[in-house]
Structure 1
Amino acid sequence: MQVVYLGRGARESGVVPSIDGDGIELLDNNWNDYGYETFFHTACRVNGDVVNLGAIRLLIDDQANSRAYLAGLRENGWDGIFPVLDGNYISVPSEITFYEQLSGQLGADVATQIAEALRDASLLVARGDERAEALVATPGFDKSLQRERGAVKAFVDGWKILENQNIAVLDLGFRFNDVFGDISTLKLKFQSESPLPHDINVLIGPNGSGKSQLLHQMVKDWTSPTREENVGFVSKPNLSQLVVLSYSPFENFPVDLASRSVQDDGAYRYFGFRGRSKPNDSDKLGTIRISQEFPRRNAAEAMISCLRDDQRFRAIRGWAQKVKTVEAVLQTAIDFDFAAVQISPEPAPEAFYTDPFPDAPAVIEIHSADDLKRYIPIPSGRGRQLSPQTISEHMYADAGVAFFRDGQPIELSSGQRLFAYLVINIVGAIRRNSLILVDEPELFLHPTLEIQFIEMLKKILAQFNSKALLATHSVVTVREVPADCVHVFERTDDGLVVKHPPFQTFGGDVQRISSYVFGDSAVSKPFEAWIQAKIEELGSGDALIAALGKEINEELIIQIKAMDRGQW
């Protein structure tokens, strides 16, 4: 399969290649990374189908402008077919899915041949290629080829895709400024020889101990082009993306990367009640504000992202179908047949579909006295028939995602609605090897939905080889996580202490966990004050037990007797 450069430009990947038959064409782009122009969109055809591989960066020895250098070679007779004879260059794709897609469609051998033609840096460094190693050590590699988080991940682990090795998110260390102004270190445990699940780590502790503050610092380190001294990830994390979910009205995470000049804006995603208003002439980025509109809009757009990713990445081995995953997870908490998004009255239904047109209703119309609402179903069985582009163009995103049962939309409780936001947004945004940060997921979830949320998260993380870090007060959540993944924040006279429970929390006793984390065994509870007052009023514990009669349980009898004897 040929890889060629013909001097043609393009503003995005996924366009039709100008070559005959199957192949990959590198397309000119004038994106500048601190003085280096190495960025190329790609056009690819495999077995007659256009495949959106994404972009790639190509660094040539002693050259700051790869595009101009290749154009010069073409003028001097080079036919544009890679490899460039006698040329010392390396490349890194913008996403690790570049070679995952090629490997899935063509096999690992052909994908490796393409990587060799492009002199993929990850593959060559893994093989000990000295010329590639020398280029990796140059300023252009860090300033340009490793500027984006997805490209960092592609360099760290891309060779494993080509050599069929498993990719794992490793244990992570993070240094942070704690609530006392000192430097503390969090050691996240994602790898273990234990059979217990280590996909989720939890931060827990009383208010004011700095859990959310740590998450904010992690986001700042991830999104900042320059690192602060003494704080941040201890070593470069082999992650492709950071996703933040926080539905607290008081949080202040960055909503996007709009203020940064980056190509891979998906390396950081935020979901919550904050977002940007629509840009205008006087405000090019839009004003950040709080609104219930943003969770609805995010969910609708994430649903289309699920559909788009399923179509784009279906050739990747073991690809977890996103729309099907959303359905399966949400149906554990919501009784529905399919999800749908609201669309405009135009165009005709067939415009939203490719062949074959579905036998089931293409669109659903809900009539009321003075209104007509039109919806397009997005069930997992229609994934390849629907047109994500057309749906996006005609979707009323502010209406969110609707759920239908027996042909009619259903009403969700506030907890079910938030659960749906969490699920759809995580699945829509997640890439392979992501880190999901969730701040206080229990805010609007009752205990049953808390457990279902953790169950959902474990399933999604496993499918996308990703990990999660939760800041919480929920002991119900802690009970679902092994003790070495539980990080208890405690303020002491000597500063902040981050420790693990000395007992196994996975499947443990909720009261024991609560007492250890929050010290509530030493805190007088309202019902205990009531018992003490009643003992004094009635004269004895036995008198109180007799007065309560059938309204008392065995545990309360034991506590009353102990309090009466002064042993509680």
Structure 2
Amino acid sequence: MKIIYKARESRRNNPLPDGDDDTLELLSNNWNDYGYETTFMTACRIGGERIQLGAIKILFEKPISRRYLKDLLQNGWDGTFPIPNESYISTPGEITFYEQLVGTLSPKDAVKAAKALRDASYLIHVKDDPGAQEMIQGAGFKDSLQRERGAIDAFNNGWKVLDQKSLAARDIDFSFKDILGERSSLKFKFGTAETLLPRDINVLIGANGTGKSQLLHQMVKAWLADPRQVRSGDFSVPPDISRLIVVSYSPFEQFPVDMDDSKLNDKDAYKYFGLRGVSESSSLKRKRVGLSRDIPRQDTVASLISCVLDDQRFRNIQGWGRKIATAERVLRAAIKFDAIVLKLKSNVNLKDLFDDQDELDAAVSVIRQGGKEGSFITISPSNLRHIDAKTLGKYVNPKQGVLFLSDGAIQQLSSGQRLFTYLVVNILGAIKRNTLILIDEPELFLHPSLEIQLVDMLKQILKSFNSRAVLATHSVSTVREIPADCVHVLERTDDALIIKQPPFQTFGGDFQRIASYVFGDRAVSKPFERWIEEQLEGMSAKELIESLGGDVNEELIIQILAMGRDQW
């Protein structure tokens, strides 16, 4: 594959490079990049097909990359990489840059491209190149090439893609101010261990008032801080993740809804899903954060379209976790349906959505909903290659949310099914390689079987995208799906916050044993026990059991007899 630079300006829709050969062309722009002008968008053709690789950053020993490349062209350079007799390094905007080249070309050809572009991750971690080692010590590398989370992840882990190494997750050490105002620390166990049990989910569990949500808030704050600043606490080592997703459908949560107050330049590094959203107030000329049940529905539409776009863009990546197919499979655990559909606005030219009339006829249906007929488009793995996802976003009615078609009618969902849909579709739409997902109280509105389905869904999705999750919960059902060393029990005493792990295996463990350890059930008198005590004041244990007749179970018989002997 040829890699070229001709100083062609980047546009919204860039034509492919001239000719028919496999070519990656770097495109010029006027971005300052904090004085270094290192960012170049790309136009790529492989096998006659457009491949959307995204941006790449190139740093030279000279301070202004774009201007320096222009000078090189004027001084006789033919625009082909590698550039002879020049010192430079590069970093793509995200790790999928080289994953796509590996999938569409080959690992060997992707390495050739990395060498031509002098990829910093490959030169440092694989080749130990002295020139690259010197350049990453400079201010330009830290202030421009490593200013965004995606580029940081590409530098830390891109070499593994090129060198065909496993992208194994690492543990995350976090230091935080606990509920009592003291400094505490916690290690989230995600790394490999001598166990076959799944370790891609960690759980925070404890009684109310132990600071589970507060800990998640501090993780978000630390993530949104400028990664170039040295901090005394928070992440002891920068986590090897590229994006943070926060999900909370509690009406009382206060997570940041956007990145307006963040020091990060990479606005793709954080995504929030919940009941709150931002609206602009024309009278006050400032943004206003409001609470609305419409927000999750609209989010799911945007997220489903993001799934389509990602499946189209990254379909050549080996092992790509197909998002639409995953959504169908996971959602069927909670909802009976024939197809996932979106409602279209009226008076739209449907031919703009598909490049094939037969596909259009098969995907768009007229269905009666609420006494009125409307047009609905099916979103399925079978029509992904033909649908124009960018146009779809303009034609869909977002207020309807993601809908489900069964036997020719739109399904009515329970509140639990609706929340499960929000969780599945929004997480799938936002997740990318090396994502960390924080979910606060996922059990809200979910019955126990859906809680378990949620954990199962997360395990499927996280594995496909080399990602991890932290759940703050009260759900013992959830804990029973997680290995003990990934369960962090928060217990508040008069003097300190204690963070401990169960001394027994919670994965597949006994429900009552987990509940007793986490919440101290044996130390809490339950209403039914007080009722038994009151009855035993006027009769013996044997008389009470006989009087209950068929209304008593074996466990209760054992407890009544023990309480009668003062042995409970």
- Find the aligned partners of 1:278 and 1:423 in 2 and give their Cα distance: 28
- Find the aligned partners of 1:376 and 1:445 in 2 and give their Cα distance: 28
- Find the aligned partners of 1:128 and 1:228 in 2 and give their Cα distance: 26
Whether contact under 8 Å (2:224, 2:263) holds in the other structure is: no
Alignment-mate amino acid for residue 482 of structure 2: V
Match of 2:130 in 1: 130
TM-score when normalising by structure 1? 0.96
- Find the aligned partners of 2:180 and 2:459 in 1 and give their Cα distance: 34
- Find the aligned partners of 1:144 and 1:270 in 2 and give their Cα distance: 26
Matched, 1:292 2:282: no
Q: How far off its partner does 1:261 sit? A: 7.2
Matched, 1:30 2:30: yes
- Find the aligned partners of 1:430 and 1:417 in 2 and give their Cα distance: 20
Matched, 1:100 2:102: no
Match of 2:273 in 1: 271
Q: How far off its partner does 1:540 sit? A: 2.1
- Find the aligned partners of 2:369 and 2:393 in 1 and give their Cα distance: 25
Q: How far off its partner does 1:416 sit? A: 0.4
Q: How far off its partner does 1:350 sit? A: 2.5
Q: How far off its partner does 1:546 sit? A: 1.9
Residue 268 of structure 2 aligns to a residue whose secondary structure is helix
Match of 2:203 in 1: 202
Residue 346 of structure 1 aligns to a residue whose secondary structure is coil
Match of 1:225 in 2: 226
C-alpha spacing 1:281/1:3, structure 2 compared with 1 (3 Å): farther
Alignment-mate amino acid for residue 82 of structure 2: P
Residue 399 of structure 2 aligns to a residue whose secondary structure is helix
Residue 525 of structure 2 aligns to a residue whose secondary structure is coil
C-alpha spacing 1:281/1:86, structure 2 compared with 1 (3 Å): farther
Alignment-mate amino acid for residue 207 of structure 1: N
Match of 1:174 in 2: 174
Residue 186 of structure 1 aligns to a residue whose secondary structure is strand
Identity of aligned residues (%): 52
Alignment-mate amino acid for residue 26 of structure 1: L
- Find the aligned partners of 1:260 and 1:72 in 2 and give their Cα distance: 36
Alignment-mate amino acid for residue 217 of structure 2: H
Whether contact under 8 Å (1:199, 1:466) holds in the other structure is: yes
Q: How far off its partner does 1:433 sit? A: 1.4
Whether contact under 8 Å (2:175, 2:183) holds in the other structure is: yes
Q: How far off its partner does 1:34 sit? A: 3.1
Deviates more, 1:509-518 or 1:21-30: 21-30
Q: How far off its partner does 1:511 sit? A: 0.8
- Find the aligned partners of 1:228 and 1:113 in 2 and give their Cα distance: 35
Residue 403 of structure 1 aligns to a residue whose secondary structure is strand
- Find the aligned partners of 1:332 and 1:122 in 2 and give their Cα distance: 41
Alignment-mate amino acid for residue 486 of structure 1: V
Q: How far off its partner does 1:367 sit? A: 3.3
Whether contact under 8 Å (1:339, 1:401) holds in the other structure is: yes
- Find the aligned partners of 2:344 and 2:438 in 1 and give their Cα distance: 32
- Find the aligned partners of 1:261 and 1:67 in 2 and give their Cα distance: 25
- Find the aligned partners of 1:482 and 1:19 in 2 and give their Cα distance: 55
Alignment-mate amino acid for residue 484 of structure 1: D
Whether contact under 8 Å (2:351, 2:357) holds in the other structure is: no
State how many pairs are aligned: 564
Match of 1:236 in 2: 238
Q: How far off its partner does 1:275 sit? A: 1.1
Residue 362 of structure 2 aligns to a residue whose secondary structure is coil
Residue 441 of structure 1 aligns to a residue whose secondary structure is coil
What are the residue-to-residue correspondences of 1:345-384 with 2, within 5 Å? 345-355=346-356, 357-358=358-359, 361-367=362-368, 371-384=372-385
Residue 43 of structure 1 aligns to a residue whose secondary structure is strand
- Find the aligned partners of 2:19 and 2:358 in 1 and give their Cα distance: 30
Match of 2:49 in 1: 49
What are the residue-to-residue correspondences of 1:292-311 with 2, within 5 Å? 292-311=293-312
Q: How far off its partner does 1:10 sit? A: 1.6
- Find the aligned partners of 2:70 and 2:360 in 1 and give their Cα distance: 51
Deviation by residue 1:235-255 (Cα, 9 ceiling, x = unmatched):
121111111111111111111
- Find the aligned partners of 1:205 and 1:368 in 2 and give their Cα distance: 44
- Find the aligned partners of 1:281 and 1:264 in 2 and give their Cα distance: 30
Q: How far off its partner does 1:369 sit? A: 7.8
- Find the aligned partners of 1:269 and 1:111 in 2 and give their Cα distance: 30
Residue 134 of structure 1 aligns to a residue whose secondary structure is helix
Match of 1:429 in 2: 430
Whether contact under 8 Å (1:16, 1:50) holds in the other structure is: no
What are the residue-to-residue correspondences of 1:143-154 with 2, within 5 Å? 143-154=143-154
Whether contact under 8 Å (1:19, 1:25) holds in the other structure is: no
- Find the aligned partners of 1:151 and 1:283 in 2 and give their Cα distance: 34
C-alpha spacing 1:511/1:517, structure 2 compared with 1 (3 Å): same
Alignment-mate amino acid for residue 165 of structure 2: Q
Residue 103 of structure 2 aligns to a residue whose secondary structure is helix
- Find the aligned partners of 2:49 and 2:261 in 1 and give their Cα distance: 36
Whether contact under 8 Å (1:362, 1:376) holds in the other structure is: yes
Q: How far off its partner does 1:276 sit? A: 1.2
Deviation by residue 1:380-439 (Cα, 9 ceiling, x = unmatched):
211111110111011111210000012211001000000011000111111111111111
C-alpha spacing 1:503/1:247, structure 2 compared with 1 (3 Å): same
- Find the aligned partners of 1:508 and 1:306 in 2 and give their Cα distance: 36
Matched, 1:139 2:113: no
What are the residue-to-residue correspondences of 1:367-446 with 2, within 5 Å? 367=368, 371-446=372-447
Alignment-mate amino acid for residue 164 of structure 2: N
Whether contact under 8 Å (1:94, 1:264) holds in the other structure is: no
Q: How far off its partner does 1:260 sit? A: 4.5
- Find the aligned partners of 2:408 and 2:267 in 1 and give their Cα distance: 38
- Find the aligned partners of 1:231 and 1:16 in 2 and give their Cα distance: 47
Match of 2:250 in 1: 248
Match of 2:511 in 1: 510
Whether contact under 8 Å (1:177, 1:231) holds in the other structure is: no
Residue 376 of structure 1 aligns to a residue whose secondary structure is strand
Deviation by residue 1:156-196 (Cα, 9 ceiling, x = unmatched):
11111111111111111111111122211110111212011
- Find the aligned partners of 1:511 and 1:362 in 2 and give their Cα distance: 49
Match of 1:535 in 2: 536
Whether contact under 8 Å (2:246, 2:271) holds in the other structure is: yes
Structure 1 runs not aligned, ≥5 long: none
Q: How far off its partner does 1:359 sit? A: 7.5
